[in-house]
Amino acid sequence: MNLIKLLFKNNIPRWIIFFIDIAICSFSLFLAYLIRFNFSIPKVEVIEFPLVFGIVLIIRAVVFYFSKTYKGIVKHTSSKDSLRIFTSLTISSALFVLINIITFYGINGKFPIPFSVIIIDYMLAMFLMISTRILFKLIYTEVFSPYRERKNVIIFGAGESGIITKRALERDAGFKYKILAFIDDDETKSGKILEGTQIYHVKDLPALFEKNEIAQSIISIQNISSKRKKEIVDLCLPYKTKVLNVPPVSDWIKGELSFKQIKKIRIEELLERDPIRLDDDLIRKQISNNTILITGAAGSIGSEIVRQVIRYSPKKVILLDQAESPLYDMEMELHDNYDHNPASYEIILGDIRDKKRLERIFEEHSPQIIYHAAAYKHVPMMEYNPAEAVITNINGTKNIADLAIKYQVDRFVMISTDKAVNPTNVMGASKRIAEIYTQSLNDTSATKFITTRFGNVLGSNGSVIPRFRKQIQTGGPITVTHPEVTRFFMLIPEACQLVLEAGTHGMGGEIFIFDMGESVKIVDLAKKMVQLSGLTLDKDIEIIYTGLRPGEKLYEELLANEENTLPTHHQQILIAKVKEYNLSKVQNQIEEIIHLSRENNHKELVKQMMNLVPEFTSNIW
């Protein structure tokens, strides 16, 4: 018994598998003769049998050796091993037929191996070799495997992707998991069996969960809508099952799915919306063969704009940022992932607050389009450092905008924020003043100044989701400022796509706002992330409320009270009808604000910001 356990525990040596296969072939050949001659083999066949036996085994052995049938790990037998056995037996049996034909027509007019014996032997050998391996695998799985208590798994999607997922699971981790069921929306598939597993309609899911403890639910539906994915997750989470997602086929390694590629659903996937349809031709026409300057190119938004812009074959992309390490990481990403000539992008370490440095960049590269994403954005930090907010967000923007006019840039697209609307903090007010300045420039310059305004982007540096994820990983608690606080959310790629679209269609002077969908309660977001992690709120982890930080609102807005919107060509992009400012009237005020920032006169500085932006209110200044 100990020997058997040892045999099943360890991998059987290949030479033993090879000789077992030869022994099976010997037995199947002998049994084929018995069956063919009704268990009474004629004397003439008995005389010929030793020669036939030697020929068959030698050919089988040579074919097995070259086809590597013995190399598979028996206790992990898969369909590929069965295919290898089928191929090798078919080839060797075909050689027996060839020997028969050569002998009959070229030597003595006799068939040394009866054709019926060849057919029976072929079927017997196929059955015995494959079934022996399957039997060995079943014994290991059910008796000797360390994973006898396998976890139940259900797969959403009884299509091609679902089948491939099942096979990947069985191949890579089959002893840990048991595929309990396929779940599909198609009622015509309900009750049918697919690769030995029953298909259930989605309406049967609650009963399935109540009768079974299901460890994992895998969504394996290609091109699933964001809405449907969210619905499936909402069905599963109350039953404390981990929800995983199969990546798109394009992300599979060499066209083959690996179990390790099946990842947990991330909260970002539940907040994403269906893909945006862009005017690709117009964007390509505008960007192709032009030099594009992207400020803040190493940040969350700037780096994604780089990734998207570079797809449209620009003449050159200038990546400008003052953050050394993130800029280096971006350079390595471009080097590794984009098959472009190195001259198609250039990394520049520089600060938008340094106008002389910026001027050299404009002189050398003469950009035609600017995407201005560089900014300080953390509300509490800027609230206590208003001078820094002004020097970067206002003066830095002014530097870039003034040089854009001087060097005849075609388009200047500024990335703004919903915090610029009825601002309650210095950061939001500084972005609103930057909006005012660039918009007022549009009337007096050939450069088209376009502003895009949107809310929080999921997964950006310093956003709430990475913070919650880290708190969950460390066991909590999760900190939320207020139980009623809400925010608009958008995925980084989606926001950047809309930036490109708006920047392409803008005629100059517009402030574009994006359809951010429904605002989300931050505490609901935290609870959902806890569920997705397989934890129980208030048992495994708790949520505590810390109070609103300086300058924070309970909710964000995309429009000020006196603002309205106009539709555009794109249903997710609107034009905000905002109060327009005359450049000559605001220029002196902005210069005074910049001067006060250099003097670090914070109180007077914020007062002047309020004079320029009357809707700006502050709790601490």
User: In angstroms, rounded to a whole number, what is the distance separating the alpha carbons of residues 304 and 301?
Assistant: 5
Are the C-beta atoms of 413 and 499 separated by less than 8 Å? Answer: yes
| Whole-angstrom distance, CA of residue 476 vs CA of residue 189 | 43
Structure tokens that stand for 130 in this block = 């494959």
Domain boundary among 265, 299, 316: 265
Which pair of tokens denotes residue 149? 């208590």
Name the more confident of 197 and 11.
197
Burial class (CB in 10 A: 0-12, 13-18, 19+), 346: middle
pLDDT at 74: 53
Q: Return the pLDDT at 1.
A: 46
Are residues 417 and 320 both part of a single domain?
Answer: yes
Q: Who wins on pLDDT, 489 or 332?
A: 332
Least confident of 37-41, 186-190, 233-237, 279-283: 37-41
pLDDT in tens, 167-183: 888 776 655 778 889 99
C-alpha closest to that of 360 among 320, 317, 305: 320
Nearest by Cα to 169 from 149, 156, 158, 155: 155
54-72 pLDDT, tens digit per residue, is: 888 888 888 888 877 766 5
CA dist 296 and 332 (Å) reads 17
Q: Which range in 1-5, 328-332, 561-565 is most confidently predicted, on average pLDDT?
A: 328-332
Mean pLDDT on 573-587: 85
Of residues 569 and 551, more confidently modeled:
569
Q: Distance between CA atoms of 500 and 367, rounded to whole angstroms?
A: 16
* CA–CA–CA angle 46, 49, 54 (5° rounding): 160
Token look-up 């500024």 returns 414
**Average pLDDT of the residues in 528-550:** 85
Residues 446 and 579 reside in one and the same domain? yes
Rounded distance between C-alpha atoms, residue 383 and residue 617, angstroms: 12
Q: Give Cα separations from 277 to 478, 495, 505, 566 (angstroms).
A: 37, 13, 14, 20
Phi, psi of 411 (to 5 degrees): -135, 140
- Can you give the residue range of the structural domain that contains 313? 280-456+489-514+557-612
Q: Is the predicted pLDDT of residue 225 greater than 60, yes or no?
A: yes
Within a domain: residue 316?
A: yes
User: 32 and 132: one domain?
Assistant: yes
Q: What is the mean pLDDT of residues 2-13?
A: 52
Q: Is the pLDDT of residue 460 over 80?
A: no
Cα angle vertex 87, ends 84, 93, to 5°? 135
Reading phi first (left if > 0) and then psi (alpha if -120 to 50, else beta), residue 263 is in beta
Q: How far is CA 560 from CA 311, 418, 490, 513, in A?
A: 36, 10, 20, 12
List pLDDT tens digits, range 135-171.
777 666 655 555 456 788 899 988 888 888 888 887 7
In a domain, 605, yes or no: yes
Tell me the Cα Rg of the chain: 35
Query: Is 499 within the bounds of a domain?
Result: yes
Q: Which two tokens stand for residue 288?
A: 């192709």
Q: Give the residue numbers annotated as catalytic, written as ranges.
A: 419
Helix, coil or strand: residue 487: strand
Kindly report the CA angle at 364 between 360 and 370, in degrees rounded to 5?
A: 85
> Same domain for 107 and 136?
yes
Residues 82 and 158 in one domain: no
39-45 LR contacts (CB < 8 Å, sep 24+): 45/114
Mean pLDDT value across residues 259-271: 78
What are 450's two structure tokens?
């376009």
Instruction: Describe the chain by its helix, strand, coil percentages, rounded to 5.
Output: 55, 15, 30
Q: Which pLDDT value is given to residue 386?
A: 94
> Is residue 478, in this structure, part of any structural domain at all?
no
Percent of the chain exceeding pLDDT 90 equals: 28
- pLDDT score of 274: 64
Type of residue at 254: K
pLDDT band (50, 70, 90) for residue 3 = very low
- Angle of helix 14-36 relative to helix 115-139, nearest 10 degrees, comes to 140
Residues 586/614, Cβ–Cβ less than 8 Å: no
Instruction: Compute how many other C-beta atoms are within 10 angstroms of the C-beta atom of residue 540.
Output: 13
Verify that 43 and 169 share a domain, yes or no: no
353 and 309 assigned to the same domain? yes
What pLDDT, on the 0 to 100 scale, is given for residue 555?
74
419 assigned to some structural domain = yes
Inter-axis angle of helices 464-473 and 522-532, nearest 10: 40
In a domain, 472, yes or no: no
What's the CA gap between 65 and 92, in Å, rounded?
12
Q: 161 with 128, same domain?
A: no
In a domain, 83, yes or no: yes
**Tens digit of each residue's pLDDT (9 = 90 or more) over 519-528:** 788 888 888 8
Confidence check: pLDDT of 4 > 50:
no
Q: Could you tell me if 315 and 418 lie in one domain?
A: yes
Q: Please report the pLDDT score of residue 287 as a whole number.
A: 92
Residues in the chain: 621
| pLDDT at residue number 437 | 96
Tokens representing residue 396 in the block? 């830095």
Closest listed residue to residue 596, CA positions, set 431, 390, 410:
390
Q: Which of 242-251, 276-285, 501-510 has the highest mean pLDDT?
A: 501-510
pLDDT of 5 > 60? The answer is no
Q: What is the mean pLDDT of residues 469-489?
A: 86
Specify whether 70 is located in the same domain as 6.
Answer: yes
588 alpha carbon, distance to own chain's centre = 48
Confirm whether 510 is domain-assigned: yes
Q: What is the mean pLDDT of residues 229-250?
A: 85
- SS3 string of 391-426? HHHHHHHHHHHHHHHHCCCCEEEEEEEHHHCCCCCH
Place of tokens 């003066």: 395
Whether residues 504 and 600 fall in one domain? yes
**Of 234, 265, 296, at which residue does a domain stop?**
265
Alpha carbons 113 and 60: distance in angstroms, whole number: 15
Domain count, the chain: 3
Last residue of a domain, one of 144, 177, 197: 144
Q: What is the pLDDT of residues 291-335, one digit of tens each?
A: 999 999 999 899 999 999 998 889 999 999 999 999 999 999 988
Name the burial class of residue 595, with classes exposed (0-12), middle (13-18) and buried (19+) by CB atoms within 10 angstroms of its CB.
middle
**105 vs 84, higher pLDDT:** 84
For helices 43-67 and 14-36, angle between their N-to-C axes, nearest 10 degrees = 150
Q: What's the pLDDT score for residue 98?
A: 87
Instruction: Look at residue 169 in the predicted model and tell me its pLDDT.
Output: 81
79: pLDDT strictly greater than 80: no
In this prediction the pTM is 0.68
Q: What is the DSSP letter of 261?
A: G
What rounded mean pLDDT belongs to the chain? Answer: 84
| 334-383 residue pLDDT tens | 888 775 565 589 999 999 999 999 999 999 999 999 999 999 988 889 99
Answer yes or no: do 248 and 374 share one domain.
no
Amino acid 338: pLDDT: 73
CATH number, residue 233: 3.40.50.720
Q: What is the mean pLDDT of residues 500-508?
A: 89
In this prediction, residue 276 carries a pLDDT of 65
